[in-house]
Amino acid sequence: MKKYYTIGMAGHIDHGKTTLTKALTNMDTDRLKEEKERSISIEPGYAPFHTDDEWEVSIVDVPGHEKFIRQMIAGVAGIDAVILVIAADEGVMPQTKEHLQILDLLGVSQGMIVFTKSEGLEEDMEELLKEDAQHHTAGTFLEKSPVYFVDSISLKNISALRKDINTMLEKTPQRRAGSGFRMPVDQSFTVKGQGTVVRGTIFNGSVNEGDNVQLLPQNKAIRIRQIQVHHEKRFSGRAGQRAALNLGGVDYDDISRGDVIVKGSFPVTKTIDIALQPVDLFTIPLKQRSPVKIHTGTSEVYGTIVFFDRNELNPGEKEEILCQIRLDQEIVADRNDRFILRRPTPAETIGGGRIIDPFGGKYRFGKQTVQMLNQKKEGTPEERLVFALQQGSAMTAAELAAKISISTEELEYEVKNSSKLMEIGGWLLTTEDGSEMKDHIKNLLAEYHSTYPMRPGKNVAELIKSLPVPEQAGTKFLQYLEKNKQIIREAEFVYLPEFTPSYPKPWARRMEQVENSILKSGMEVPVFEEAAAEAGLDKQQTAELYNFFLRSSMYKLDEKHLISESAVKKAVSKLKTEKSEKFTLQDAKQHLGLSRKYLVPLLELFDKLQFTKREEEYRVWKN
């Protein structure tokens, strides 16, 4: 399988990065008019560096001037290895050091040191320069890297360098092509006849021509019309490649450096928890809630730093700090994404590190918060899943995977193999929360049955709203309990399996008196409220008993009367015996012996219960 890499060319201004890139690739990366006039690189330049059929490699030449550090950071975002360029006639300079620290903080793991302008350099001078470079790179990823002396004009040692770049890349891990596609944008422009084009280094995954993708943080749906890599049309682009994407559905001026093209779910956020590693170079204390600039991917965003264990960060402090950045605008940030933190004024690099949670919360100042952040940073996927659910509520697999920045496949594996997590109808929650919610529901129903023993159960919608989870999750959880015979649901009511509606003990005799009064009266029933009042029931008890009878053994005759089920059956049987096919109102009056007060609503009840069907002056018996 073909491998794809991007190499960064970093170092101090005027140390020969662009000339070395041209010597290696035969391409001039200074394309802006101002770059030509001033002989400096302002924007990152990109050139193809083809090694063989198995590899496809790009070189990014980043600006070396301190004024263009933003462009430098954007340029090295997504690189796999670096060539640190030092001019032999000047040695290590301020931007050499700053670039090295930035690269170290961004997690670059492979690289080499190359001295340019070394034509005619004596051997003892080479040795001194080499020792100086090794001194400045001690403790960094370049500590034991090889050192080369080349000249980009005479091409001294360029062939050997090109060969050893291959050796370096053999040790360089590839980016993940199997995860969701993500490409931070570093350039956006329009091409006549083609439309909007963006360029960037593909961080993760792969993309194909014709794919539907998203522009973040705008959350705009767009389409990949065409893909180019190294100015060649391709059907697809993969992690590690420099790519140009021709987009449909968006204007080029609606896209800025720092925006991200994605396929799949990626976090968009304004609050990030971070592990910050201070650098040696910053000089002024950074106070609590100071304004800062954070660089991640190709974005540069202002924000405020929030410490939880101190009120300021002082120069010389070297221990990692767990803290938070509250951003002025949204960015796309994933767990373990690298970042650089800078002070806006006076401009200097404070440090860098990695994002430990793209969805930071509001926390209290103190050691407990730092311990919690450390758990986020160091925890296993299972621990982080449990923690995320404990901090919030039940979530869907997609929501939870995005929140802790793992793939849905990883999440499914963790849930399947964990005793601390459970999945119910597509919703995830901790086993502990699930057990507590089950007990909560059963206790709630038991209390409800005790308070309202005549009611059929608690209203399902009301019960779901009382649960500490989203309504859809609550619905699925009740279905889960019902399936496991923990509860029973009938229509809109839910109750415990052992529950049977009954009279409350203190009022049982009085309610039985009302029931007996209705049963004994047959079809000429008393006014319900009068019977209840005679038995000594108040309005609330009367209403409860009325609804209880309707749900159990009685029918509503009219607004004032209830009639027993047995009385209705007796009336049907008697009338059907006398008139087996159809009957009139007068027939019913004759055979049932009822006044119109009771007869008319009783016959209407027959219709409602579908015993009969009205046809002109007749009622016809139905099967």
The residue extents of the domains of the chain are 3-170, 181-263, 268-374, 379-502, 505-621
The token pair that represents 522 in the structure block = 């047959």
For residues 540 and 261, the model is more confident at 261
Instruction: From residue 383, give the alpha-carbon distance in Å to each of 401, 419, 498, 592.
Output: 13, 12, 38, 75
What local confidence, expressed as pLDDT, does residue 28 receive? Answer: 62
In the chain, % of residues over pLDDT 70: 93
Task: Work out the average pLDDT over 403-409.
Answer: 79
In this prediction, residue 51 has a pLDDT band, given cuts at 50, 70 and 90, of low
Choose which CATH entry (2.40.30.10, 2.40.10.120, 3.40.50.1000, 3.30.9.10) describes domain 181-263.
2.40.30.10
Residue 225 token pair: 């019309």
pLDDT tens-digit readout, 441-494: 999 999 999 888 878 889 999 999 999 999 999 999 999 999 999 999 988 889
Q: What is the mean pLDDT of residues 244-268?
A: 89
Segment 306-326 mean pLDDT: 94
Question: What average pLDDT does the segment 202-219 reach?
Answer: 92
For residue 98, is pLDDT > 50?
yes
Per-residue pLDDT at 69 exceeds 60: yes
Q: Is 144 helix (H, G, I), strand (E, B) or coil?
A: coil
Locus of tokens 């000429």 = 524
Neighbouring C-beta atoms of residue 481, cutoff 10 Å:
19
- Note whether 299 and 331 are within 8 A (CB): yes
How much is the pLDDT for 46? 67
Q: Could you confirm whether domain 505-621 is CATH 3.50.50.60?
A: no
What's the pLDDT band for 303 if we cut at 50, 70, 90? very high
Has residue 42 got a pLDDT over 60? no
In the prediction, which pLDDT does 245 show?
A: 93
- For CA atoms 504, 510, 516, 517, the dihedral sign is negative
Identify the CATH assignment for 268-374 out of 3.30.2270.10, 2.40.30.10, 3.30.1360.200, 3.30.365.10.
Answer: 2.40.30.10
pLDDT score recorded for residue 178 = 58
In CATH, 3-170 is 3.40.50.300 = yes
pLDDT of residue 124: 87
pLDDT level of residue 36 (50, 70, 90 thresholds): very low
Tell me which range, 131-135, 373-377, 409-413, 532-536, is most confidently predicted by mean pLDDT.
Answer: 131-135
DSSP state of 151: B
Look at residues 448, 453, 435, 273 and name the one whose alpha carbon lies nearest to residue 363.
273
- pLDDT for the residue 44: 52
Q: Do domains 181-263 and 379-502 have the same CATH topology?
A: no
Rounded Cα gap, residues 403 and 411, in angstroms: 11
Separation between Cα atoms, residue 527 and residue 465, nearest integer Å:
38
Residue 552 has pLDDT above 90, yes or no: no
Residue 38 — very low, low, confident or very high, per pLDDT cuts 50/70/90?
very low
pLDDT level of residue 13 (50, 70, 90 thresholds): confident
**pLDDT at residue 443, as a whole number:** 94
Is the separation of the CB atoms in 619 and 613 below 8 Å?
yes
Q: Which residue has the higher pLDDT, 507 or 247?
A: 247
Do 183 and 207 touch, CB atoms closer than 8 A?
yes
When pLDDT is cut at 50, 70 and 90, the band that residue 47 belongs to is confident
The answer as to CATH 1.10.10.10 being correct for domain 379-502 is yes
pLDDT of residue 72: 67
